Structure 1
Amino acid sequence: MDRRRFLRQGMAATAAVGFLPALSSRAADARGTVSAPLARPVLQPAASVDLTGFTALASFQHRGVVWTAHEDLRTPQGALVLVCADGLLELGKRTEDVWGSDTPPYLGIPLAKLAMAEADLLADALLRDGDPSEQAVRDVAPPPASRLDPKDHNGRLPWTTFVGTVQANDTMQIYPDGRSRTYRAVQSFPALADADTVAHRAEGLLGGWMPAVHKVVPAGEGRWYDVLVFADVNAQDRFIVQTWHRTVLVEQGKAVRTVVGYSYPDFPPRRTGASVEDFYRGVIDFAASWQAQLAQASIAQLPDASWSDLARFAFARELVVRPGGVYPKYGAVDRDYVGNEYDGFQDTFTSSLYANLEWGRFDQARAVLDNYLSEYTQADGLVNMRGPEIGQFGLTLSLLARYLRYTGDVALLRNHQGKIEATAALLVELHDVSLALPRSDRGHGLIHGWSESDACLYPDPTLWWKPYFGNSALTIRGWEDIAAVWPTIAGGQGASRQWRQHARQLRTRLLQSIRADIRHDLRPPYLGPLPGTTETFRQAMSQEDPSKGEQLWSHRAYAELLQADVLPPEIAHLVIDCLRGHGGTTLGIVSNIWKPSPEGRDILGFISYGHAQQLLRLDRIEEYLLFLYAHRYQAHTRGSWTAGEVAGITGGMPLFCMPAQMTVPLLLRWMLVFDQDQDLYLARAVPRDWLATGKPIELQEAPTPWGRAGLRLRADTGQRRIDAELTLPAMRPNAIWLTLRAPTGTQLREVTVDGRPAKTAGPQHDRVQIPFAAGATVVVQAHYD
C-alpha cells in the first residue's frame, strides 16, 4: 500500500555538487548581490533552424550579448528559439495529451473483472502477438492525473508536477492550470478557471527534458493558452523557490496577449510586473544551468526522442529534489514523503546510485555515495533511518562493488572502509542468529528481518521480522560482489573469505527452502514470499485487515528475490509466472499487492525494477518491453513525467517518489547495454518497431565493468538490412553478444561481423557473438527476409 494510506492506518492503530549560478537581474535587485557570471548556454549553428514563419518576440541584451527571441506560434509544439551572434538556443515544446484516449479503456474488459482476476488479463492480451504495441499500452487505461476528483483530495485539486533548482532546499508544486502556491495566471486569464477545459490540456517540458513545465490549454479552433513555468536558477534563497511564469493567448498563430510574472502577484509601486525581456534572460540562464548539470551522461539517440529525454529529465528532477543536488529526499512537497524522517531511506540511495552509475554520471554517483555513507550510515553499519531493510543492505554492498568497477575510485571506498565492513558484518551476525535456530524451524539458516521499512511503525513489528526469501537473496548478492573487490579496497583477502563462505552456505539453504516450498498443486506453480506460508499472497491480502499478516509488502520481497539473480533459471521463471498468474502483476509490472478491490488494481512504481531486470536476464524480452511501456505511460503523468510510488489504472494522481523516477532510465540503459554473468549484451531488448522506423538507435560511452562501450544500430528497410557499429570496452568480458531483433514479421537471413560470416545464437537465433579487441570499432551487417 502507499505510504500515506499506511500512515493513516498506523495513527488509527496507535490511537486505540551542484554549482550556484549567478543571480538574475530581478533576484539581484531583491538581494543586492550578484555572484560570478553563469556559463553561457551551448549553442547550435545559426543556420541549423529555419526561422521562416516564426514570430519575433523580443530583442534584448544579456551579459553583454544581444539576443532576439523567436517562437513558432503556428502550432502548440512550436519551438522557442533564442538567437545571438554566436548561434542559437533551440528549446522544443513537445507535449503529450494529458487526457489520454476517449476510446473505451482496458481493451473492453470490465474494470471489476480485470481487477479481481488472479491472472494479469491486460498483460495477457497485450503480449498475445509478440512485442507489445507501445500505442496500445499507452491507451489501455486513463493516464495518471487525467481523471482528478476533488473529493479524493479534501476538496482541492492536487499538484501534478513541481519545479525547483539545485541550490534550493525545497520545491514548488504546480497545479493543472499552471498556478503555483504563489502565482496564479488565472488572475490574468479567467478562462483557466474552467476545470473541464484545463483537464483536456497537453503538457511537456521546455527543451524536451529540462525541468520547466509547459502546458497547452485549448481555447477553441486555432486558439490556446501557452503556459511556461520554471524555477529561477539564479535565485539564492535557501528554502524559497523563485519562479518565472509566462502565459500567452495564441490565436491563429499570433500572440494576442502575453503576461509574464516572477514568483508573486504585483504589489505596486515596489513590486511591479516582470518584463518579457527579463523572462527570456531567465530562460537563457535556465538552459545554460541545466545543460551544465547534465553534461556528464552517456549519449543516447532513439527513434522517439521523448524516451531519451525522459531519462535525462529523471536526473534533472533528482537534482531538483535533492537539496544542493546531493542530500536525499524520498519525495517532494508532501510532508509524508519529503520529511527528514525519510531522508535515509535505503531505496532512495540505491536507486540513485544505480541509475547514475549506469548512465556514466560518476560525479553525481560519487556525491550521492559519499553523502549517504557519511551522513546516513552509522559506524556499526546501521542506517540513520527507521526500519532498516535487510535486502537493501545487500544491494548496497553490490552497488559499492559496481561503483569501484566502473570508476576505479578506490580512495572513496577506503575512506568508508569501516562502515562498509560493518554493513557486511551486520548481515553475518543475522545469518549466525538464523543458523542457531532449530533445523526444524522454517527460518533455519535464512536471514530474518524487515524487508520493508514501514514494518517498524506497527504496534508489533516482530510480525514482519521474518525469513523473507528476498532478504537472503540480496544478502548473497551483496556478499559475493563486495568480496570480489574487497582485496582492492582493504588489501589482502581479509573478511572476503568469510563473506564468500556465508554466501555459499546461505545460497544452498535458500534454494533448498525454496524448492521445498513450491506448490505444484496450483497453476501456475506457486512460491510464497517466505517459507511455510499456507495461503497465497492474494488470499492473505483478502482478509478483513490484510495489514495484520506476515505477507504484507510481498511485492518488495518478490522484486528483491528476482533482482538478486541467485536463482536457477527454472525457478526464476517460476517466480515470474507465479506473480503474473496469481495476482502479483498489473500490466506486466509488479502490483502493489494489497487487498483486491473491484474498483481498481495498482502498479508498483518503485523498487519493481528488479523484476524487470530478471525478465531481461531470462530473455523474456516482450514482457520487459511491456514493463517499460507500462511504467512510462501508466506510472508517469503525461508530458510532465511525475512518477508515482504506487499508480492506479483509473486516472487518479499517484504520489510522487524519487526512486520511481529512476526506473525508466535503468530500463532504457539495460535495453541497450547490459552485463550478466561476466558477459556483455548489446541491444538485447530493442523493440522491433523502433528498428523498423529506419532511424538510428544509439548509446555511446556507456560504462561497463570492463570499460566504456557503445553501439549504433540502424535498419535500411528498403534494403532489408541492419547496420551496426559497436565500440568495444578496453578490457575483455567473458563474451560480447549483439542482439538483432529484426522488424516484426521478418527474420535474420545472414550476418557478417567486420565482413566475415557469423552464426546466430540465443533463444530467438538473433544473437551474434562479437570477437573481442580492446577498444575496437566493430561493424556488423545483417540481412533479413
Structure 2
Amino acid sequence: MVISHPPATPATKFADIYGDNDIAITSFEARCSRLKAAYVWVHEESSGLIAAQISSESPYGTVVATGSLGGKSPGKHQIEFATDVYLEKGQVYYLKLFKGEPATVAGSLAKAAENLDQIEGYNTYGPLAYDLAHELVFDRWEGDPPANEMLDERKKTPKAYENSVNDALNSRTDLLGEEVLRLPEGPTYENIAGYLTPLKLIGTAVTESGVYYLPFGRPLNNAGFGPVALHVGDGSQVISQVATGSKVTFFVGTEGRERFGFAEARLAQESLEDGYQPILVNNYTDYSGVTYVQESFSDYTFATTELVSFVKLTIQKRNAEVNAVKVRLHFSDRDLTLNGNVLKVGNEVRAMLTEGGKLTGGNTVVYDVDLRHGDQEIYLARLLNPAQCVPFDPTASYYNVEKAELKGFWDGELAKGAVFEVPEERVNNAQKGLLIQNLFMGYLYSIGNSYQTWYQPEGNDAARILGEYGFLERQKAMHEVLLSVPFRRYRTWEMGELLSHSAQYYHLSKDTAFIRRHEQKFIGFMEDFQAQMEASANGVLSAEAFSGDIPEKLVYLHHQAVAWRGMRDMAAILLSLSQSAVGSRFVTLADSLRNRLLRAVNESKTLLSDGSIFLPTELFTKAKPAPYAMITASKYGSYWNLCFPYVAASGFLDRELVSGYYQYLKNCGAFFLGMVRFNYYPVAIGDYRKDGLPGYKTTGVDNVYGLNISRVIAMMDDPDRLVLSLYAKLAHGMTRNTFISGEGDTVGPYPGEYYRTSYLSPSSFNNSWFLLMLRLMLVYETEGEMGAPVELHLAHSTPRGWLAQGKHIKVEKAPTLFGELDYLITSDIDNGKINVAVTMPSQVDVAERVFIRLRTPGKRRIEKVELNGKVHRAFDADQETIDLTGKRGTLQLTAFYK
C-alpha cells in the first residue's frame, strides 16, 4: 500500500533543514504494520546529511525509528532507516527531518502539490497550512515486531507524587525547603533526594531515545573545546560532534532488536567510573533476562589523529533461560566493508571491533553470542570521523591501557588546580566531574547542540569559577576569547561583565600584563558608557533588550548595575597602576551613575506589609511596576527572578535593600528546594504544555542563574539555605551520578514521563553554580567600595555533618583575593574538640576581618579556644566563629566543647 503526496512541477520549497532549529515535519497514518520504504523530495540539494525520525503521539513524541538521507541532488530520495519500522495500523505518526551533521550548511525540502486534510505539515514554529512532499510504502509485518509494549517497561512515579509536587509549587514560600530546614540535622542529600524523580531526558529532538548525552574529549587549549563524542546516558548510542551527527546504535536481545536501554525499568542508574572519571557505565537487562554491562569513553590513541570512542560490552547470562543472544551495532554510515576486525567507509577506517561479527545490510555488524560457556565481551573502537588509522585489535588489554591513560590525564589536569576536599564522597565526585566538564567546554555555554556558542554574562562567570578553583591560566584564556568576540543585543551588560570579571581576575591573579594588554579596550568600554550617559535624559546608560528572550528595550537595572560595577572596579585598577587621570575620571563617572540609579530605585521600590521590598528591574517607566504576587506566575516575573540577582550581588545596593529583596524572594515563590524557580511559557501549576520544550514544558527551575542568588545568600549569612541549595542541585538539578545539567529543568509532572527533562544539556554555567556554592561554603571573601578585598571567611557555611567525629575538611592551594590559602579542619567532636591548621594567605594583612566558622552536628557550643598553644579569647560561641584577624603565617587552632 502506498501513500503518494508528490510536489508540484516545478517544485517549491517547504523548509530549509540546515539551521540548528530548522525542522520539517509531516503527519501520516500507518496503512499497514510495516513501513517498507519512505521517500521525500529534495528541493535544494543538501551539502550534508539530513537526519530523519518517525515519532508517535506528537511531532516530538516517542521516537520509533531513525534514519537519514544524503540529498546530494534535487529530486526524490529514499530515507534509510536504522532498523525495520514496525507501526500500528491506523495510528497517526510523524516523519521529522532536520540537519544531520555540522557540514550541512545548505539544503531544503519540497512542498507537496496538494494540501490534504488528513495530513498536517509542521516546521519548528508549529503547524503549517501546507504539507511536506513525501511517499510512503507499507506492507504487513511478518514475524514478531522488534519492540512493543511488553518490551517498553516504564518507571512510574510514586503514589501521590503529583499532588505533593504541585502543593509545593503552589506555595509562595519554599514549602519543601522550609520543611527540610526545620529538621534537627538540617539539609542533607538523603533527606532531599526523595522529593523529586531524577533528571534524565533531553527530548527526542536531540537524541533518539530522548535521554541526555555526556560530552567526552580533551580540550584543544586552555580556553577549552575540541573534537567531542557524545555518549548517550542510557548507553544506546555514541554520536560524533553534534547530536545530529553520525552515530552507532546498540541493539541487544535474542533477536538483536531491542535498543540498549529501551526499557526504563530494566536499566540501572548510570554512573561514572571511580565516581567522576569521564567513563560512562551502564547496566541493562533485556526482555529475556540477559544482562549487558557497558563501559564507554573517548580519547586519543597512537593509531590515528581522530578522537576514538572505546566501548566494552559484557554479556552475562545470569539466571536467564536463553543460551544465545544477538548484539547489533548499527552505524549511520553507508556502504561499509568489514575485513577481519576493521570496518571501513571506502578507504578510511570507521571502527575496529572484536572479531566474529558479520556485516549485514551494508551498515550493521551482528554478533551471535553463545552464553553457554560464561560471560562474553565485545569491544568497539569507533573513530569520530572515518580516517586513516593503523589497524589494531581492541582487546581487553588494549582497552584497559587506553582507559588508564585517560584517567591519568584527567587526574593530572585536576591536580593543577586547588584542593577542596570534604568528607562526603558524592560531593567530591560531583566537584571533580563538573570541573572536568568545564575544563573541556571552556568558554562555551554548551557542547553538541545549538548552545555550542558563547554568551558574555554566563561565559565570564564560568571562567571566574575555574579561576577560583585554581585554574587561573584557564580563566585568563577564556577571558581572552570572550574579549575578542562580537557583542549581542545587550552590549552595555556585556561590556560590564567583561570589565568586572577582568577586574576580578586581576585581583585574584595580580596579572598586570593582562590589564595592560587590554587597557585600551577597557578604556573604550568606559568611554562608551560616558557617551551613553551624556546622551541620556536621565544621565544613565542606554535602553537595551532585557535578554535574549525578551527583546523589549528599556533601562534595566541588571544591565546598569553590572556596567557600574565593571566601570568602578576597572577604574580603580587603572588608578592603582598609575593611570591617575583616566582612573579618576571613570571612578567619578561610576559614582555619578550609581547615584542617579539609586534615586530611580528608591522611586520605584515597593515596601510590602511583611517587611520585604520589591525592586523592579525596569526603571524610568511611566507607571511604577507592581510587585509579583507569585514571581513565576508570569514570564516577565520568571525572568526578573533570573536577572535581578545580578543587581543584588554586584554591591550596588545597600544592605537594607538587599535584605528586603532577599525576604521578598523567600516570601513570593523564588525558590523550590533552594533552587531558582522559573516558568518559561508560563504554564499553570498542575498543567503542562504538550508541544513545550524539554526543561520548560512544565513549570520548573532554571539553575543556570543560581550563582548570583547564592552570592546573595552568602551576603545574608544564611548558611543552611546555601546547604539546602547545594544538596538540591546535586539531587535534582543535575543527572544523578553523571552530573549533567541543562539550562532549565521541569519540576511539575508530565504525563507518561517518570524522569524529568532539561533543556540542551550540558551547561557549563549551571555546572558553575554547584562549584560556586561549594567554594562559598569553604572560602568566602567580601569586597569593599572600590572592589578591593575586605573580609575572609573560612568554612563559612559547611553542612553540619561534615564535622562529625573523625571527619575532615581540607583546602589546599586555593587562590583568594588575599593570596593562596591552605587549611585542614579535623573533628574529634566526640572527645570535645576540633583541630584546625591554617596557613594564612600572604596578603592577609589587608583584610579588615578574618573568621573561621565551625558548624558542628547539633550546633555544639564552643567553650574555649587555643591558638598556637595559648588561650585565644576572640570567638563568638553563638555564631560559631573564631576571629583570626591580624594573624599571619601557620596557625594551630583547637576549639573545645563540653
TM value normalised by structure 1: 0.75
Alignment match, 1:636: 734
1:247 aligned onto 2:313:
yes
Q: Partner of 1:73 in structure 2? A: none
Distance (Å, rounded) in 2 between the aligned partners of 1:767 and 1:538: 38
Match of residue 163 from structure 1: 216
Q: Which amino acid letter does the alignment assign opposite residue 490 of structure 2? A: P
Moved more, 214-223 or 504-513: 214-223
RCO higher in structure (CA 8 A, sep ≥6): 1
| Residues 101, 520 of structure 1: alpha-carbon distance in 2 compared, 3 angstrom cutoff | farther
Report if the CA contact (8 A) 1:479-1:503 is conserved.
yes
Residue number in structure 1 paired with 2:469: 359
Q: 1:503 to 1:577 in 2, by over 3 A?
A: same
2:765 — aligned with what? 659
Distance 1:289 1:743, change over 3 A: same
- Secondary structure of the corresponding residue to residue 446 of structure 2: coil
Pairwise CA distance, 1:271: 7.4
- 2:850 is aligned to 736
- 1:134-173 matches, cutoff 5 A: 134-145=189-200, 148=201, 156-167=209-220, 169-173=226-230
Q: Which residue of 2 aligns with 1:298?
A: 418
* Match 1:565 to one of 628, 651, 659: 651
Q: Which residue of 1 aligns with 2:457?
A: 347
Query: 1:742, 1:784 within 8 Å by CA — same for their partners in 2?
Result: no
Contact 1:105 1:140 in 2 (8 A): no
2:895 to 775, 779, 782: 782
User: Which is further off, 698-707 or 494-503?
Assistant: 494-503
Asked which structure has the greater CA Rg, the reply is: 2
Aligned ranges for residues 143-542 of structure 1 at < 5 Å? 143-145=198-200, 148=201, 156-167=209-220, 169-178=226-235, 179-181=237-239, 182-187=247-252, 190=256, 193=260, 195-197=262-264, 200-217=267-284, 225-234=292-301, 241-249=307-315, 256-263=375-382, 274-322=394-442, 328-334=443-449, 336-338=450-452, 342-343=453-454, 345-373=455-483, 375-376=484-485, 384-388=486-490, 390-434=492-536, 436-437=537-538, 445=540, 448-455=543-550, 461=551, 463=552, 465-489=553-577, 491-523=578-610, 524-531=612-619, 532-537=623-628, 542=633
Which residue is 2:832 aligned to? 720
Q: Distance in 1 between matches of 2:618 and 2:676?
A: 17
CA distance in 2, matches of 1:537, 1:175: 40
CA change 1:364–1:540 in 2 (3 A) is: closer
Asked if structure 2 preserves the Cα contact closer than 8 Å seen for 1:471 and 1:557, the reply is no
- Give the letter for the 1:166 counterpart: P
Q: CA deviation at 1:690?
A: 1.4
Per-residue deviation at 1:358? 0.4
Q: Label 1:762 to 1:214 Cα distance change in 2 as closer, same or farther (>3 A).
A: farther
TM-score by length of 2: 0.66
Checking the alignment, whether the CA contact within 8 Å between 2:848 and 2:885 is kept in structure 1 is no
* Distance of 1:419 and 1:413 partners within structure 2: 10
**CA shift in 2, pair 1:116/1:481, >3 Å:** same
Aligned to 1:64: none
> Which SS does the other structure have where 1:114 is aligned?
helix
User: How many angstroms does 1:533 deviate by?
Assistant: 4.3
Matches of 2:589 and 2:861 in 1, distance apart? 47
Relative distance call for 1:480 and 1:694 in structure 2 (3 A) is farther
Matched length: 648
Deviation per CA, 1:60-110: give whole Å up to 9, x if none: xxxxxxxxxxxxxxxxxxxxxxxxxxxxxxxxxxxxxxx99976687x853
SS in 2 for 1:744: coil
What is the rounded CA distance, in whole Å, between the counterparts of 1:252 and 1:583 in structure 2?
50
Say which of 148, 153, 177 aligns to 1:123.
177
Shift of 1:224: 5.2
Task: Tell me, in whole angstroms, the C-alpha distance in 1 between the residues paired with 2:266 and 2:587.
Answer: 56
What letter is aligned with 2:300?
Answer: V
Q: In the TM superposition, what is the alpha-carbon distance from 1:156 to its structure 2 partner? A: 4.0
Does structure 2 conserve the Cα–Cα contact (< 8 Å) formed by 1:105 and 1:141?
no
CA positional deviation for 1:754:
2.0
Quick one: distance in 1 between partners of 2:796 and 2:624?
Answer: 37
Q: Distance in 1 between matches of 2:229 and 2:666?
A: 39
The separation in 2 between residues aligned to 1:359 and 1:648, in whole angstroms, is 30
Superposition deviation, residue 143 in structure 1: 1.3
Counterpart pick for 2:813 among 701, 718, 725: 701
2:297 partner SS: strand
| DSSP 3-state at the match of 1:329 | coil
Q: Which runs of 5+ in 1 are unaligned?
A: 1-6, 12-98, 323-327, 377-383, 438-443, 456-460
Q: Which residue of 2 aligns with 1:769?
A: 883
The alpha-carbon distance between structure 1 residues 317 and 539, as it changes in their structure 2 partners (threshold 3 A), is closer
1:632-656: CA deviation from partner (whole Å, max 9, x where unpaired)? 2211111111122111224323122
RMSD of aligned alpha carbons? 3.6
Q: Deviations over 1:159-200 (max 9, x none)?
A: 332322224734222224312133344358956645335664
CA spacing shift, 1:160–1:537, aligned 2, 3 Å: farther
Bigger mean CA deviation after superposition, 711-720 or 507-516? 507-516
Whole-angstrom CA distance in 2 between matches of 1:515 and 1:255: 76
Runs of 5+ consecutive residues of structure 2 not aligned to the other structure: 1-19, 25-153, 240-246, 320-372, 687-697, 750-754, 784-789
Contact 2:198 2:736 in 1 (8 A): yes
The CA deviation string for residues 552-602 of structure 1, in whole angstroms up to 9 with x for no partner, is: 721332120122123222211211221222222222222225425214432
Distance 1:745 1:224 in 2: 48
Would you say the 8 A contact 1:302–1:696 is kept in 2? yes
Could you tell me how far apart the structure 1 residues matched to 2:720 and 2:822 are?
Answer: 23
Q: Distance in 1 between matches of 2:266 and 2:583?
A: 57
Q: State how far apart, in whole Å, the 2-side matches of 1:124 and 1:200 are.
A: 34
For the residue of structure 1 that corresponds to 2:711, the secondary structure is helix
Query: C-alpha distance in 1, partners of 2:679/2:202?
Result: 24
CA distance in 2, matches of 1:414, 1:188: 64
2:516 corresponds to which letter in structure 1?
R
Structure with greater proportional strand content: 2
Corresponding letter in the other structure for 2:279 = A
Equivalent pair of 1:100/1:143 in contact (CA under 8 Å)? no
Distance 1:138 1:425, change over 3 A: farther
Which digits, 9 at most, give the CA deviation of each residue in 1:671-706, with x for residues without a partner? Answer: 111111311110101111111153111111111122
Q: Which amino acid aligns with 2:858?
A: T
Q: Is the 8 A contact 2:632 2:669 kept in 1?
A: no
Q: Which of 775, 778, 792 in structure 2 is aligned with 1:672? A: 778
Deviates more, 1:221-230 or 1:650-659: 221-230
Please show how residues 22-61 of structure 1 align to structure 2 within 5 Å: none
Return the offset for 1:729: 0.7
**Greater helix percent: which structure?**
1
Q: Are the structure 2 counterparts of residues 271 and 411 from structure 1 closer, same or farther at C-alpha, using a change threshold of 3 Å? A: closer
Q: Deviations over 1:742-774 (max 9, x none)?
A: 212522222222233334556942111114344
